[in-house]
Amino acid sequence: MKINLELLKELERSINTFHPEKGRIPIKILGFGEISLVFEILKDPEHLAYKRIPIFDNEDQVKRHIWAYNAYCKILNQEVGLSLPAYDVTWFKDDNGTIQFYCVQEKIEAKSVGNKVIHEISDDEIYIFVTLILREMKKVWSYSHNNPKIDLGLDGQISNFAIINFDVQNPKVDFNTKLYYFDTSTPMVRINGAEAMEAVLFLKSAPSFLRWLLKALFLEETVGRYYEWRKVAIDLIANFYKEQKPELIPNLIKLVNNFFAEEASEFNIVPITIDEVKKYYKSDKNMWVIFQSFRRFDRYLKTKIFKKKYEFYLPDKIKR
Ligand SMILES: Nc1ncnc2c1ncn2[C@@H]1O[C@H](COP(=O)(O)OP(=O)(O)O)[C@@H](O)[C@H]1O
Ligand SMILES: [Mg+2]
């Protein structure tokens, strides 16, 4: 993979996390998450997606993270059998000595990403799509089940799956459709019970005045939930509230419960109820709304009061 390091260094010189597209190097935002900013460099012939993750304080941290990332991707791809877009990582110290870390991936078609796809296909095709996602998940949890030393987690949001060879002009999903899983930058793998990545990095995007509190109260819960298939499935279903398709949720719950009872009966997963999904969605939504407002306050303190750089991109209000 041809990564232009000089271009990234130049980009870091002028990036403005308030308005990332207004720096000297022209970029286009492809997406963003709670801590990451994903973009392409315009006119880049390589068709790459850069995911900027500004959470590292020192070299040991970043090296360990790269090790965990490579281990996670390799297991998912070569042993579990998930399809991942071609991937790489790169990092350097910028002019201020700050570590800048990027996950780099083959750029995938924006319209083929799950949260876009579900607005282009029929409800019946959505149910097939969700079944295909459950089959990918089954591979992951079967692997963990058969390998007592290794435990894998997955972020099962619909926006983390994309359709391979998606025909934008004629969007279709059937049981032969193949999926990419691409949200691999948070390596969720435990080897002999120990988290491969440094778990506190999960909280790195939290304002420093909250981090100790979040760590004490929620770290185990936040990290742990990605390792439990049932919780990951609840998260996937609850996504349909955020994606403005709540009317599908009762059928999706039935579908997931049938899948657990039939295709994954060996996992003995207790059926999911609508109340659980509602409750989960409400608490998750509240948590993010509160969290985002604390982050805005933190950004205000850092940039306006202390005149420092704020490393994260904060999206405008997300419709949830
Ligand atoms: N390789 C890629 N090509 C095109 N778009 C991408 C790529 N990777 C991520 N994105 C976009 O950015 C969004 C966030 O990326 P993701 O890897 O899921 O990060 P997060 O951990 O922040 O959810 C995705 O939902 C997608 O829209
Ligand atoms: Mg994601």
Q: Which atom of ligand 1 is nearest to the CA of 34?
A: 22
Does residue 158 contact residue 115 with C-beta atoms inside 8 Å?
A: yes
Q: Name the residue at shortest CA distance from atom 2 of ligand 1.
A: 107
Q: Name the residue at shortest CA distance from atom 20 of ligand 1.
A: 33
The whole-number pLDDT of residue 319 equals 59
Q: pTM of the prediction?
A: 0.91
Q: Which atom of ligand 1 is nearest to the CA of 186?
A: 21
Q: What is the whole-number distance in angstroms between the Cα of residue 31 and the centre of ligand 2?
A: 9
The whole-number pLDDT of residue 65 equals 95
Spatial distance between the Cα atoms of 230 and 269, rounded to a whole number of angstroms: 7
Q: What is the whole-number distance in angstroms between the Cα of residue 196 and the centre of ligand 1?
A: 22
Task: Please list, residue by residue across 197-225, b when 16 or more beta carbons sit within 10 angstroms of its beta carbon and e when fewer do.
Answer: bebbbbbbbbbeebeeebbeeeeeeebeb
Alpha helices in 101-207 (DSSP H): 114-117, 123-146
The whole-number pLDDT of residue 150 equals 97
The whole-number pLDDT of residue 244 equals 96
The whole-number pLDDT of residue 18 equals 78
Residue type, 72: Y
E-strand spans in 78-222?
Answer: 87-93, 99-106, 150-152, 161-163, 179-181, 189-191, 194-195
Closest by CA position to 140, among listed 164, 161, 117: 161
Residues of the chain whose pLDDT is less than 70?
A: 205, 216, 317-320
Instruction: Pick from 113, 161, 185 the residue to mutate for probing ligand 1's pocket: most ligand atoms within 8 Å of its CB.
Output: 113
Q: What is the whole-number distance in angstroms between the Cα of residue 282 and the centre of ligand 1?
A: 24
Q: Which residues line ligand 1 (CB under 6 A)?
A: 30-31, 33, 36, 38, 49, 51, 85, 105, 107-108, 113, 159-160, 182-183, 185
